[in-house]
Amino acid sequence: MDKSVMVVGIDDSDHSLYALEWTLEHFFSTAPGKSPFKLVVVHAKPSATTAVGLTGPGAAEVLPYVERDLKIIAARVMEKSKEICAAKSVKDVIVEAVEGDPRNALCDAVDKHNATVLVVGSHGYGAIKRAVLGSVSDYCAHHAHCSVLIVKKPRKTAH
Amino acid sequence: MERGIAVAFSSIPEGGAMGAEEKVKVRVMVAIDDSGESFYSLQWVLDHVFGSQNNDEYLLNIIHVIELFPSYVLPGAPAVFPSTSIVRSVNKAQEENASAIITRAIDMCTQRNQVHINTSIIEGDPKEMICGVAEQMKVDLIVIGSRGFGKIKRALMGSVSNYVIHHAKCPVLVVKMPTSKAESLNA
């Protein structure tokens, strides 16, 4: 039987790594190696131009440095996610980095791998922050072509 | 404003003694109404989450929220107060509907796997009740269906899944029905 595919979206934040750990703990821990899901970890690396957002003079000089930093961050994030998977002894994993806006990149990855579930972390922004900064999890929940699991990191000050 | 909450708990442990409560590590809550999408989400959970044999550590909570009657009052429109007999008959119909839904859900579960089930029927505003009960029961995962509305429909008719995503304190899984199935169901 074909395994269903689960795509997990990762960025540099703690929230998305927490989402990855949560997913592994709840969906992959019962019988490692015999889980019904195939895991694909996707890191959406923003391109240098979107990250910098400048069009003034001097932007062209800054871009190579920004690009290099983004590449370093991307590599570190992918390493971290491989470590987390190895720690939970999940071997059937694909880790890939995609360039571009995370919202579209994740939805495209869902289509490309024909995923049944997309897992994203959530920063837990309130309504205003969400409107200003945008919310990848919101976008994915509404636009992905598959079921979407949004994992929130519990706040430390919960009482 | 919420009325008093009428909570009916019926616990149906499947294939396990009462002592299984201590072993429960993961509580999953599935919200059901009478739409095809919510039953699809229940089926999805049974297929993908409870697929394996060892379901002892999971507890499945099925919740159905009965929406209170005078919830369609438009702001600015003259208030219409239905007579008490109408309210009573609507409530009765809603309760019968609710128990039919829950029975159908339980049948679906028993057909598939051995899994511990807990059911609840609650009155109130669905979105708030789902989040509230999930917090009370300390569930680890809320599963909710999505009717696949676009932005405008969602703004006009309200979206329970949207509210739950933003306000729940625990992870939320929104199950979407593949569009071809949705069309055949709603045709």
A–B interface: beta-carbon pairs under 8 A: 55
> Is B53 at the interface with chain A, CB within 8 A?
no
Q: Which residues of B touch A148 (CB under 8 A)?
A: 173-174, 176
- Give yes or no for a contact between B135 and B169, defined as CB atoms under 8 angstroms apart: yes
Q: Looking at the domain assignment, is residue B57 inside a domain? A: yes
Q: Domain containing B173 — which CATH number? A: 3.40.50.620
Residue located via tokens 């505003």:
B125
The identity of residue B183, as a single letter, is E
Q: Looking at the domain assignment, is residue B187 inside a domain? A: no
User: Which range is least confidently modeled, A39-43, A51-55, A65-69, B151-155?
Assistant: A51-55
pLDDT at A34: 64
> 10 Å Cβ neighbour count for B111?
9
Q: Domain containing A111 — which CATH number? A: 3.40.50.620
**Quick check: A50 pLDDT over 60?**
yes
**Quick check: B10 pLDDT over 50?**
no
DSSP state at residue A109: H
**Quick check: A24 pLDDT over 60?**
yes
> Is B171 at the interface with chain A, CB within 8 A?
yes
pLDDT at B19: 44
Q: Looking at the domain assignment, is residue B13 inside a domain? A: yes
| Alpha-carbon dihedral sign for residues A118, A30, B41, B152 | negative
Q: Looking at the domain assignment, is residue A44 inside a domain? A: yes
Q: Looking at the domain assignment, is residue A124 inside a domain? A: yes
pLDDT at A132: 58
Domain around A131: 4-152
Q: Looking at the domain assignment, is residue A74 inside a domain? A: yes
Residues 6+ apart with CB under 8 A from A64: A48
Look at B171 and A150 and tell me if their CB atoms are within 8 Å. yes
**Quick check: B181 pLDDT over 70?**
no
> Is B42 at the interface with chain A, CB within 8 A?
no
Token pair belonging to A27: 């969906």
The pTM score is: 0.79
**Quick check: B15 pLDDT over 70?**
no
Q: Looking at the domain assignment, is residue B67 inside a domain? A: yes
Q: Looking at the domain assignment, is residue B2 inside a domain? A: no
Q: Which residues of A touch B54 (CB under 8 A)?
A: 30-31
Look at B174 and A149 and tell me if their CB atoms are within 8 Å. yes
Residues 6+ apart with CB under 8 A from B173: A117, A147, A148, A149, A150, B45, B141, B142, B143, B144
Q: What is the rounded average pLDDT of the residues A50-55? A: 63
Nearest chain B Cα to A28, which residue? B49
Q: Looking at the domain assignment, is residue A158 inside a domain? A: no
Q: Looking at the domain assignment, is residue A108 inside a domain? A: yes
| Alpha-carbon dihedral sign for residues A147, B169, A9, A82 | negative
Span B90-146, pLDDT tens digits = 888 888 988 999 999 888 888 876 788 899 998 888 888 999 999 999 999 999 988
**Quick check: B35 pLDDT over 70?**
yes
Domain around B177: 7-182
Give the span between the Cα atoms of B63 and A151, in whole angstroms. 21
**Quick check: A149 pLDDT over 90?**
yes
DSSP string, B1-55: -------EEEEE--SS-GGGGGG--EEEEEEE-SSHHHHHHHHHHHHHTS-SS--
The pLDDT confidence band at residue B29, using thresholds 50, 70 and 90, is: very high
Q: Looking at the domain assignment, is residue B162 inside a domain? A: yes
Look at B176 and A147 and tell me if their CB atoms are within 8 Å. yes
Q: Looking at the 3D structure of chain B, how many domains does it have?
A: 1
Token pair belonging to A158: 């919960």
Long-range (24+ apart) CB contacts under 8 A made by A78-86 are A78/A10, A78/A41, A78/A43, A80/A17, A81/A8, A81/A10, A81/A17, A81/A20, A81/A41, A81/A43, A84/A17, A84/A20, A84/A21, A84/A24, A85/A20, A85/A24, A85/A39, A85/A41
The pLDDT confidence band at residue A158, using thresholds 50, 70 and 90, is: very low
**Quick check: B82 pLDDT over 80?**
no
Q: Looking at the domain assignment, is residue B58 inside a domain? A: yes
Nearest chain B Cα to A118, which residue? B173
Nearest chain B Cα to A36, which residue? B48
Q: Which residues of A touch B161 (CB under 8 A)?
A: 141
Q: Looking at the domain assignment, is residue A159 inside a domain? A: no
pLDDT at A119: 92
Token pair belonging to A55: 């069009």
Q: Which residues of B touch A147 (CB under 8 A)?
A: 41, 44, 173-176
Q: Which residue has the higher pLDDT, A64 or A60?
A: A64
Burial class of residue B42 in the structure, from the number of CB atoms within 10 Å of its CB (0-12 exposed, 13-18 middle, 19+ buried): buried
Q: Looking at the domain assignment, is residue A27 inside a domain? A: yes
Q: Looking at the 3D structure of chain A, how many domains does it have?
A: 1
DSSP string, B73-96: PPTTSPP----HHHHHHHHHHHHH
pLDDT at B141: 92
